[in-house]
Amino acid sequence: MKRKIIIDCDPGIDDSLAIMLALSHPDIEVVGITIVEGNCPVEMGFENAKKVLKFMNRLDVPIYVGAHQPLKREYINALDTHGSDGLGESFLDSVAGYEQDMDALSFYSHILRQEQCSVIAIGPLTNIAQLIQQDKEAYDRIDTLISMGGCYKSHGNCSPVAEYNYWCDPDAAQIVYNAGKEVHMVGLDVTRQIVLTPELLENMKQRNAYVGDFVEKITKFYFKFHLEWEHLVGCVINDPLAVAYFIDPSICSGFSSYVQIETQSISIGQSIVDDHSFYRKPSNAYVLTQVDVDKFFDLFFTCLLENIHECEKN
Ligand code: RIB
Ligand code: CA
């Protein structure tokens, strides 16, 4: 039996790599992709998801448009990091049509009553928060909820203490952490260790030119961004780790804790991990702190390089 997932994302360069990993793993069935505002405006994210599915020859996977802006905060995109097209200025051909007959929330309400699904959220949590507000029964039916977001001991990437997905919509993140379901928090503490280096990219190109060239096309902007702003030779690919952790939880380890998201003040978007139980609240999250980087790349490369091939031009 394949494990069914919904990927809620803001594609986004690393979101695209996460989608590729999920679609290329034999034991995973992506029943739908929902788009949320984040790295890029939601309509651009919808277009980018189509481009990735076209590359994967998987336009059978439905994509649903979700929230256009955060619950309360003014929407601030991350196009400075992901390029003006949201996909590393690869400017891939657009894919016509593919409009769905419902929006993301309607899809969640429908599918969660039909199937046992997990949700891998790799963008701001606006869609998930709205699902909680509008259809808590459906939300409660989610099997496992994984969120790429937040940080524990690692510094933020939008402020000294805040990571983008929770900083972009802190109110949504707080609603999700308060909703009674354990959130597997795949934060910067572990994702920062997942660095696609020029050597690894060259290895990908040698082993599978079709995939390697595509990855190079969508990450070249990202490499430049990381060199300029983080003085890093390589790029941090956060989102695929959330998918890899779902596939093989032994890739990461962590601890259960109460987590609260700051929604005001200078530390807005901070994920406050109460690791010493000062607040005496029950745990609502499993916070990842360790990652086996080699194990991640073994899985990532095996799936992408051995299971994705150019389809015969029909
Ligand atoms: O902070 C990194 C996260 O924010 C990643 O999911 C990236 O795609 C952006 O959404
Ligand atoms: Ca993302």
Q: Is the CB of 187 under 6 A from ligand 1?
A: no
Separation of alpha carbons 160 and 126, rounded Å: 23
Which positions ≥6 away from 65 have C-beta within 8 Å? 34, 35, 42, 43, 46, 100, 103, 104
Task: Return per-residue pLDDT of the chain as tens, 314 residues.
Answer: 899 999 999 999 999 999 999 999 999 999 999 999 999 999 999 999 999 999 999 999 999 999 999 999 999 999 999 999 999 999 999 999 887 889 999 999 999 999 999 999 999 999 999 999 999 999 999 999 999 999 999 999 999 999 999 999 999 999 999 999 999 999 999 999 999 999 999 999 999 999 999 999 999 999 999 999 999 999 999 999 999 999 999 999 999 999 999 999 999 999 999 999 999 999 999 999 999 999 999 999 999 999 999 876 54
Strand 63-65 with 235-236, pairing: unpaired
Q: Is the CB of 191 under 6 A from ligand 1?
A: no
- The identity of residue 116, as a single letter, is Q
Instruction: Please work out whether the CB of residue 238 comes within 6 Å of at least one atom of ligand 1.
Output: yes
Name every residue whose Cβ is closer than 8 Å to that of residue 276 and which is 6 or more positions away in sequence.
none
**14 Cβ below 6 A of ligand 1:** yes
Return the CA Rg of the chain. 18
Q: Indicate if ligand 1 lies below 6 Å from the C-beta of 11.
A: no
Tell me the CA–centroid distance for residue 274 and ligand 2, in Å.
25
- Characterize 64-81 residue by residue with b for buried, 16 or more Cβ atoms within 10 angstroms of its Cβ, and e for exposed: bbbbebbbebebebbeeb
Six-digit token string for 211: 């995939």
Which residues lie below 8 Å from residue 31, measured CB to CB, with a gap of 6+? 4, 5, 6, 111, 115, 117
Residue 131 token pair: 């699902």
Which of 165, 189, 222, 230 for a ligand 1 pocket mutation test, highest count of atoms within 8 Å of Cβ?
A: 165
**Alpha-carbon distance values, 68 to 34, 73, 266, 281 (Å):** 12, 12, 25, 33
Task: Tell how far the Cα of 280 is from the centroid of ligand 1, in angstroms.
Answer: 30
Best mutation site among 9, 122, 146, 237 for ligand 1, i.e. most ligand atoms within 8 A of its Cβ? 122
Separation of 35 CA from ligand 2 center, angstroms? 10
Kindly give the distance from the C-alpha atom of residue 199 to the centroid of ligand 2, in angstroms, as a whole number.
Answer: 24
- Closest ligand to the CA of 81: 1
- Whether 263 is in the pocket of ligand 1, judged by its Cβ within 6 Å, is no
Place of tokens 């994705």: 308
**Nearest atom (ligand 1) to Cα of 12:** 8
> Could you tell me which residues are beta bridge partners of residue 235?
196
pTM beyond 0.75, yes or no: yes
